[in-house]
Amino acid sequence: MSKDVATFFDEVKTASRILVCDLGYLGDTIHLIPALYCIRQALPHVRLDVMVADHIKAILELTPWVDTVLGYPRFPKRLPWYKDLAWMWRLWRSEYDAVINLNSSDRSVRLAWVTRAPLRLSRVPNRGKETGFWTWANTHLVREPFDQDPVYVQRWKCLKQAGFPGEAPAFGITVPTDIQAKVDQLLAEASLTQGFFHLSPFTTEDGREVPPVILADLVERLRQRYPERPWVVSCSPTEREQVKLKAFLALLKTPPEKVFNGNLSVLELTALIKRSALHLGGDSGSLHIALIMGVPAVSWFYPYKGLIQWMPQGPQYRSLIGEKTPQGLFGVSAEALAEKVREVLVE
């Protein structure tokens, strides 16, 4: 039977090694950072390790106060159980004093249990799974509502319930100096410094994207309203986005001042967005990066369960919601997006 969650911080104060486990996508890991920072601020002496999906672990180079980042081979396919044994053996021998799992993943709970850490804190998932393995695999269970706050706020609130101090969630991130210098040099070569509009036109599927004709119309409208603002466009290196990028650029009356066609790492993309005056994009990792960098953003979504968790909140953010169709988001116009940009820049 689990203990009172409010006692967790008092019990973990003497810990030497803590592991935080989160095996989600890029957005999940970005939204984990305030919880990590809360732990670091409360326990500056502890060795703080984090286990995340291997393909996105580079984003945690923004958190130099994390001691070790373990890259778990979670994607593109889940490891079969028999290939997981090496990881289980590694964790069995890890000698962690505490493990924290705030994403409600069964696999994270299983891996946390394998560590044999005396303290194991997990968040109860939406489905309310509090019996059987979940009950005895954890020493402390935290219950925090889903779908009411952004994910990073939810995870910070979980730690507050567990007794951690702190007045508000903070990201506490630092872009590595060499990464920022490299991106600044690339911008300088195009006679850019900062204050540009950054457009990330694509996501992972057509139905989540504003159709390119509408985006081209939006760019033209904003060029007329803000002629002093240069444009930078970026996308991923996937073949799908490369093809879509060429088609989109062909629609523009004036080409962007700089195009990054998939040649930026996630850290370089972060350094790029940091220098922008405004980010425009859909529900993707680049939007979450704009959030953690405090960059104003106008974004677009389709309605789905849990949308509130991923939509940026605050006066410097605006979003439109359209209908998901095979051809893209229906009902999101260039005029409406341009108005949202005006609102953000007035703020």
**249 within 8 A of 232, measured Cβ to Cβ:** no
Residue 126 has pLDDT above 80, yes or no: no
Identify whether 37 is part of a domain. yes
The reported pLDDT for the residue numbered 163 is: 97
What does the pLDDT look like over 210-258, one tens digit per residue?
A: 999 999 999 999 999 999 999 999 999 999 999 999 999 999 999 999 9
Specify the CATH number for the domain of residue 291.
3.40.50.2000
Domain end call among 137, 161, 185: 161
88 shares a domain with 196: no
Q: pLDDT > 70: what percent of the chain?
A: 95
Q: Which residues form the domain of 121?
A: 5-161
Report CA Rg, the chain: 21
Residue 268 has pLDDT above 90, yes or no: yes
283 shares a domain with 207: yes
Identify whether 91 is part of a domain. yes
Cα(50)–Cα(336) distance, rounded to whole angstroms? 41
Stretch 328-346: mean pLDDT, rounded?
96
206 shares a domain with 268: yes
**17 within 8 A of 47, measured Cβ to Cβ:** yes
Cα(324)–Cα(238) distance, rounded to whole angstroms? 22
In sign, the C-alpha dihedral spanning 307, 309, 314, 317 is: negative
116 shares a domain with 181: no
The reported pLDDT for the residue numbered 80 is: 67
What does the pLDDT look like over 159-213, one tens digit per residue?
A: 999 999 999 999 999 999 999 999 999 999 999 998 999 999 999 899 999 999 9
Q: How many domains does the chain have?
A: 2
Q: pTM of the prediction? A: 0.92
| pLDDT band at residue 148 using 50, 70 and 90 as cut-offs | confident
Count of CB atoms situated within 10 Å of the CB of 99: 30
**155 within 8 A of 172, measured Cβ to Cβ:** no
What does the pLDDT look like over 30-63, one tens digit per residue?
A: 999 999 999 999 999 999 999 999 989 999 999 9
